[in-house]
Amino acid sequence: MVKRLSENDRVVLEHVHRYRLTLPKILAGTEIVPKAGDVAARLTLDRLSGDGWLCTADLYPGHGGEQYYHLSEKGAQALGQDGDIAQPLKSEMRIESFAIATFCCCGDQFRELLTKEEFKRQFANLWFAGQPVRYYLDKGADGIVRLAYIKVDKVGPGDWDRLIESCSRFLRQRVDAARVAPEQRPRVEAFARLAKRGEFQFTVLTAVPEKKRAIELELQRRKLNHDFAPPITVHVVPGLFEVLFPGP
């Protein structure tokens, strides 16, 4: 007998597709599972895995330990997605997806990563083919809702200055209409207006508190000196260090 997806099970699969992977603690942070808690989330994920909707893979390849859940080909097809996405994630994607899912679902507040379809629908004036989609909407303490682009730091304690410069370069490229083809200029100009209104920010996810502090101090120094400082907020992601540098 073919087992059909319940409405709630489909929502779980959509969650896995949105973040590319999940863990029981990540799913539990979303309130998707009616009975809250890691145990209930694990039972749900194990059941969906046993029924063939999900697969598992090592979170720390070559080091054993915890496994993450990702869509199976059957699960991808149930969501109308290409079965090619139903593979264990390559190293960089695994690290970035873990960081983003943990930040969005297990932090001080829930944040929903926008899918490509959602971004294209909500920000049609900013969309162009080929751009990476790692955005969510962030409501700041000042009440302003900003379009936030997530950058995952994967190099450990050093290179904080390069990370700031990477954000600066991204912003310069996205607001300079002279750098793009004429058909893309309306999108660049729309993004430039968004940035000028203070409605765009970078959210940097890092593994170590020292790097967060170094970035924040440098941004503060630039502002005091009236130098350009890209709009960056920094968050330390629990468990990211272990995923980046698994023990023996």
Q: Which domain holds residue 33?
A: 7-89
Q: Do residues 224 and 156 both lie within one domain?
A: yes
Residues 188, 124 share a domain: yes
What is the distance between the alpha carbons of residues 27 and 19, in angstroms, rounded to a whole number?
10
pLDDT of 49-105, one tens digit each? 999 999 999 999 988 889 999 999 999 999 999 888 899 999 999 999 999 999 999
Number of domains in the chain: 2
Element (H, E) at 149: strand 145-152
Mean pLDDT of 5-28: 95
Position 94 in a domain: no
89, 105, 133 — which closes off a domain?
89
In a domain, 191, yes or no: yes
Residue 35 sits in the same domain as residue 121: no
- Domain of 81, CATH number, reads 1.10.10.10
Q: Six-digit token pair at 163?
A: 């990370």
Higher pLDDT, 110 or 159: 110
Two tokens at 175? Answer: 């607001």
Q: Note whether residue 106 is domain-resident.
A: no
Same-domain check for residues 145 and 70: no
Task: Write phi, then psi, for 185 (nearest 5 degrees).
Answer: -60, -40
What's the mean per-residue pLDDT of the chain? Answer: 91
In this structure, are 41 and 148 located in the same domain?
no
**DSSP-derived 3-state class of residue 71:** strand
Confidence of residue 3 (pLDDT cuts 50, 70, 90): low
Contact 166, 158 (CB under 8 A): no
Q: Whats the size of the chain, residue-wise?
A: 248
78 and 121 housed in the same domain: no
C-alpha distances (whole Å) from 14 to each of 70, 82, 145 are 11, 14, 25
Q: Angle 7-19/91-106 helices, nearest 10 degrees?
A: 120
Q: Are 198 and 229 in contact (CB under 8 A)?
A: no
102: in domain? no
What is the Cα–Cα distance from 228 to 205, expressed in whole angstroms? Answer: 21
The DSSP secondary structure of 167-196, one letter per residue, reads HHHHHHHHH-GGGS-GGGHHHHHHHHHHHH
Q: Are 153 and 201 members of one domain?
A: yes
Residues 225 and 129 in one domain: yes
> pTM value?
0.93
- Number of helical (H) and strand (E) elements in the chain, helices listed first: 10, 6
